[in-house]
Structure 1
């Protein structure tokens, strides 16, 4: 593992239930992010773009986001730290995420397709403009579980990819439980917009629109972008 070099650092603090969660100094936050990357380096060998999302209290939905870019043997900070929201019940332990538990999964996952309300021109990501026909199946009993579906489905439960609010205005797939798909292990884990306060989700990662746009414009599938997410106490020792 090379050094962590601090390039551009952009800090935006969100308020979670009236409490500003960026209580620690940026220096402490970044040292923790650096430690997480260092301890998990072997899992990141094929990636040159990395999003790190962690919390300090496993059960808390208040988390921190930092984006890194690999330059040679070094990881350079691209954006962050930024306060983000995760599952309302925090992070599940590795391999313990379950459908409906209100937790975000722990692990290293590829970043996949971008769904958006408007067609995106300034991105290298595979992207699709969504319509009312677009769905993501979260019914564990369906053969389409944790899959994108357009049009009719016999699934009893699914996420509409066009909502009445802007949460899915930008909606990037976090490839958790996608290959293979284990029924009941969790579905529809996205990186999407934060649209309400307090900022928590059913298991996704939610970020402000300014920083989301930066990521949409920066991420490149050729760089194998990944997201490393979990509780600091778990990630600091390596997965």
Structure 2
């Protein structure tokens, strides 16, 4: 069950700072809250390209999210969370007209499954990287989602531990800026 919580005063930007430990690690900070995170396997870039394995250095509004209700219950947030269901996919094929958009199965071009079995997208927040103003090959499916064991790097997303994601969700709202430094 997802419950919306009442609006509060605007929060500071959510900052994603590079970690001194590794180019594929980061520190996520929102006010006094600080969490470890995994980012792109090849680090960060100001010139994101599809498939480069890098996290874009940018200010990205938080648009909305997906949640696997059967896996994450009683989440409190001001962010719009859509229940993830099996036919939901995200197109990452630059040549397709649906590039960097949600699509439904069956869908032949390259895509991400939103209802993954590995739990990475049990909560999946859509960042506005190349979503509202799309350009071919500028990168797709830049999400904030759950980590793999050992904080393994992502393909360009920001990944958090489930307990940290749950804690952060209560402070997030649509339009809030995620700033990767």
TM-score, normalisation: structure 2: 0.86
1:174 partnered with 2:127: yes
8 Å contact kept, 2:87–2:104: yes
Tell me the matched-pair count: 168
Q: Which residue of 2 aligns with 1:15?
A: none
RCO higher in structure (CA 8 A, sep ≥6): 2
Distance (Å, rounded) in 2 between the aligned partners of 1:62 and 1:123:
26
Match of 1:83 among 28, 36, 41: 36
8 Å contact kept, 2:62–2:173: no
Greater shift, 190-199 or 175-184, is seen at 190-199
SS of 2:164's partner is helix
CA spacing shift, 1:211–1:121, aligned 2, 3 Å:
closer
Gapped runs of 5+ residues in structure 2? 1-9
Gapped runs of 5+ residues in structure 1? 1-46, 68-76, 231-239
SS of 2:163's partner is helix
Deviation at 1:56, TM superposition (A): 5.1
Match of 1:209 among 157, 162, 166: 162
- Which has a greater percent of helix? 1
Structure index of larger Rg:
1
- Show CA shifts across 1:19-77 (max 9, x none): xxxxxxxxxxxxxxxxxxxxxxxxxxxx63411012156x810111111xxxxxxxxx2
Q: Which residue of 2 aligns with 1:62?
A: 25
Q: Which residue of 2 aligns with 1:151?
A: 105
Distance (Å, rounded) in 2 between the aligned partners of 1:121 and 1:55:
28
Runs of 4+ residues deviating >6 angstroms: none
Q: Calculate the aligned-residue CA RMSD, in Å.
A: 1.8
TM-score, normalisation: structure 1: 0.66
Match of 1:123 among 77, 83, 94: 77
